Amino acid sequence: MSVAKKEYKRVTVKTLVDMKANGEKISMLTAYDYTMAKIVDGAGVDVILVGDSASNVMAGHETTLPITLDQMIYHASSVIRAIDRCLIVVDLPFGSYQSDPKEALRSAIRIMKESGAHSVKLEGGREIKESIKRILNAGIPVMGHLGLTPQSIYKFGTYTVRAKEEQEAEDLLEDAKMLERIGCFAIVLEKIPAELAKKVADSVSIPIIGIGAGPHVDGQVLVLHDMLGMTHEFNPRFLRRYLHLYEEMTKAISQYVDDVKTQDFPNESEQY
């Protein structure tokens, strides 16, 4: 289906709200380094999330919990140097905002000042309301994140679909309305039933960006390394792989090894 797409020179938080109002879907991908961010930005993606999924895909940790604020700032600064058009959202990592609103603000300020990012994302609803308000009061745009919140994995115990039960679904809807009320510019909904995601998207005027939340939301986000098929052991139902780079890269690198061993590389034209 062809969709009306307005050309935005630079995507801002206001652009995203306008996109929702105009019915234009928002595309968001993660990136954690300069080279990938340059490709993502050049390809026309609207929002780059410097996600704490860097803890998994860049550093090889099992969860997102170990990544530090300094490491997030390093990733975010590399991404910022690459972009011309995208809005950049940076995750506040686990442990940098949960203890109290002052610490949350300090962490958000460090990200904005030291990386040059445009906004931050925090996982959670009512339990972190005061921290979000404190950050918003400082003029820093905040994206919320509800549903499956990987920083709380040890509370949930599994990465299965959230908010299937009525009470959890009601709480999530209330949290989304609260995040809109206090001034968040958008919300990520992760791994919840598509019908609930639709209800949330219809109930608020700020954009709802889904990952495993079905098609009736205002935009989609995927982890770049997953959608490019660089990771191959992670296979959730919601993931569409646009390439199979794990296999492609393995083939190319094996070919290089062969070429070095057989002295095929470098050849006459590849030397001085």
Q: Which residues are annotated as a binding site?
A: 52-53, 91, 121, 123
121 vs 134, which CB is nearer to ligand KIV?
121
Q: Is 190 a catalytic residue?
A: yes
Q: Annotated binding site for 3-methyl-2-oxobutanoate, which residues?
A: 52-53, 91, 121
Binding site for ligand KIV (CB under 6 A): 30, 49, 51-53, 91, 188, 190, 211, 221, 223
Query: CB of residue 30 vs ligand KIV: minimum separation in angstroms?
Result: 5
User: Residue 125's CB: how many other CB atoms inside 10 A?
Assistant: 21
Query: CB of residue 172 vs ligand KIV: minimum separation in angstroms?
Result: 15
63 vs 265, which CB is nearer to ligand KIV?
63
**What residue is closest to ligand KIV based on CB?**
51
Identify which of 125, 142, 129 has the alpha carbon closest to the alpha carbon of residue 101.
129
Largest CA distance in the chain: 70
CA distance 173 to 198: 11
Contact assessment for residue 211 and residue 188, using Cβ atoms and an 8 Å cutoff: yes
19 vs 224, which CB is nearer to ligand KIV?
224
Catalytic residue among 7, 170, 190, 270: 190
219 vs 271, which CB is nearer to ligand KIV?
219
Query: CB of residue 148 vs ligand KIV: minimum separation in angstroms?
Result: 9
CA distance 124 to 113: 24
Contact assessment for residue 139 and residue 108, using Cβ atoms and an 8 Å cutoff: no
Contact assessment for residue 227 and residue 242, using Cβ atoms and an 8 Å cutoff: yes
129: left (phi over 0), alpha (psi -120 to 50) or beta: alpha
Q: Annotated binding site for Mg(2+), which residues?
A: 52, 91, 123
Q: 241 Cβ partners below 8 Å, 6+ apart?
A: 226, 227, 228, 229
Query: CB of residue 251 vs ligand KIV: minimum separation in angstroms?
Result: 27
82 vs 223, which CB is nearer to ligand KIV?
223
Distances (CA, A) of 109 to 32, 66, 126, 141: 19, 20, 22, 11
Query: Where do runs of H (alpha helix) occur along 81-140?
Result: 101-115, 129-137
Burial string for 54-83 (b: 16+ CB within 10 Å, else e) reads bbbbbeeeeebbebebebbbbbbbbbbebb
Where in the sequence numbering do the catalytic residues fall?
A: 190
